[in-house]
């Protein structure tokens, strides 16, 4: 889990995406508190830089979650698609974005024939 979290390549499961969302909101509130209550400009600057890194992290993880659903990463900007990323299960087979992040032990893949398109 959290393998290459700042990369935009690959796929992630719902569990990792849920953890990403929770981490994001906790750190956003902490950083907002630090930035708002900082007494020096250096502390504010560090907080803003950490916030930029956090946003990059969330965009990368969201892109990988879109990939798990078989979509381009730009779909994360569609209204209400975020809800789909949280609740809908990803594809069980490999797609053009990578292998199934759950591995090959998925029981739905047993005794199935590969689909060629």
Place of tokens 């490999």: 94
| pLDDT level of residue 63 (50, 70, 90 thresholds) | very high
Average pLDDT of every residue of the chain: 85
Averaged over 70-97, what is the pLDDT? 91
Check residues 100 and 107 and name the one with the higher pLDDT: 100
Q: Which two tokens stand for residue 27?
A: 């750190």
**Which residues are within 8 A (CB) of 107 and not within 5 positions of it... i.e. 6 or more apart?**
none
Higher pLDDT, residue 105 or 4: 4
Residue 60: left if φ>0, alpha if ψ -120 to 50, beta else—which one?
Answer: alpha
Q: Tokens for 30?
A: 């902490």
Domain boundaries, the chain: 14-109
pTM of the model: 0.80
Q: Mind listing the pLDDT tens digit for each residue in 6-23?
A: 999 999 999 999 999 999
Across residues 42-63, what is the average pLDDT?
A: 89
């Amino acid at each position: 889990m959290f393998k290459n979290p700042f990369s935009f390549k690959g796929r992630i499961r719902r569990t990792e995406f849920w953890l990403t969302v929770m981490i994001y909101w906790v750190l956003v509130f902490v950083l907002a508190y630090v930035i708002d209550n900082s007494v020096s400009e250096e502390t504010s600057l560090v907080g803003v830089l950490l916030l930029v890194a956090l946003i990059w992290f969330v965009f990368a993880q969201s892109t990988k979650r879109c990939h798990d659903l078989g979509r381009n990463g730009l779909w994360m900007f569609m209204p209400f698609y975020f809800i789909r990323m949280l609740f809908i299960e990803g594809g069980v087979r490999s797609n053009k974005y990578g292998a199934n992040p759950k591995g090959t032990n998925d029981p739905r893949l047993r005794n199935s024939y590969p689909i060629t398109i």
